[in-house]
Amino acid sequence: MDQIIVKTPAKINLTLEIVNKREDGFHNIQSIMQLIDLYDYLTITVEESDKEEIILFGTSDEIPYNEKNLVYKAAKLFFDFLSSYEDSYFAEQKFRVNINIEKNIPISAGLAGGSTNAAGTFYGLNKIFDEVIPKDKLHKLCEQLGSDLNVCLEGGCLLATSRGEVIKKLPFRDYNVSLIKPINLGISAKEAYTKYSQMENKPKYDYTHKMIDAIMIGTDLRQFLYNDLETAVFNDYKELQTIKNIYPDSIMSGSGSTYFMLNQKAEPLDGYWIKNDLRFISKGVEEVIV
């Protein structure tokens, strides 16, 4: 039996701009995504078995522990891929996998909690099997499951384009981060993108490339923080308006409902989850050495 513990970091969108809608129903985006040191933890145990089993459990009562979970889908895809290896041990052998998910990243928060768990599952299983799948192919598996997995696997600061799965590494800058999330409000990506599609006047600022220039020359990034999806959902939720009224320099991450600030602390606020003293990190999912 083999076991690994993987820490899977949250991400924030320093910029998120919608380029256009694709024929497959998704949207092309340009976004600068940054990993931060807020982690979920996966404890993955694998042993040989006479049948394939993927068993999930964990600390949250807000997520499914079945085939609907991205962690389950990642484990299934991983072993399906290995079983396709011809004349291989993996073509015949089945495995029992137990994955304990310790959730610290809020659910439906725009912080890639599900995506980073799935990327961590790919990473952890691949480590257990001595990195049998090259990293470029691991990225291809990530592409099949979602838009943020590649960012979470690679880590640091990245320009994400297409659906978010095409990534380019950017220089690392160090900032403090504070998060503010309405406790009883989660916004799905489907809702946010649908509301954006319904907007008549869609702004086109190209803050993404302005921020890239700022990253490259070392100037302050905060003037270019921007999110098209915030524009789409802001007027529908008084909870978001409350955050913006108190902290006008805050910006929404992903499809929300989490807001973040750089180099500014948030004070306790009734009805809101607050997390201060976080930082940008230069890595993505990684093994916990115990």
Cβ-count burial of 273 within 10 angstroms (0-12 exposed, 13-18 middle, 19+ buried)? middle
Decide if 24 contacts 220 (C-beta within 8 A): no
Among the listed residues 11, 289, 32, 260, the one whose alpha carbon sits nearest the alpha carbon of residue 152 = 11
Cβ-count burial of 200 within 10 angstroms (0-12 exposed, 13-18 middle, 19+ buried)? exposed
24 is catalytic: no
Q: Where are the beta strands (DSSP E) in 64-121?
A: 94-102
148 is catalytic: yes
Decide if 208 contacts 17 (C-beta within 8 A): yes
| Gap between the Cα atoms of 279 and 36, Å rounded | 6
Decide if 184 contacts 271 (C-beta within 8 A): yes
Per-residue burial over 130-146, b if 16 or more Cβ lie within 10 Å, else e, is eebbeeeebbebbeebb
| Cβ atoms within 10 Å, residue 258 | 27
Q: Which of 7, 11, 181, 275 is catalytic?
A: 11
| Gap between the Cα atoms of 12 and 220, Å rounded | 17
- Tallying the residues shown for the chain, one arrives at 290
| Gap between the Cα atoms of 175 and 128, Å rounded | 33
Q: Which of 7, 40, 148, 228 is catalytic?
A: 148
Question: Distances from the Cα of 33 to the Cαs of 38, 71, 96, 156, 173, in angstroms?
Answer: 14, 21, 34, 8, 12
Q: Which residues are catalytic?
A: 11, 148
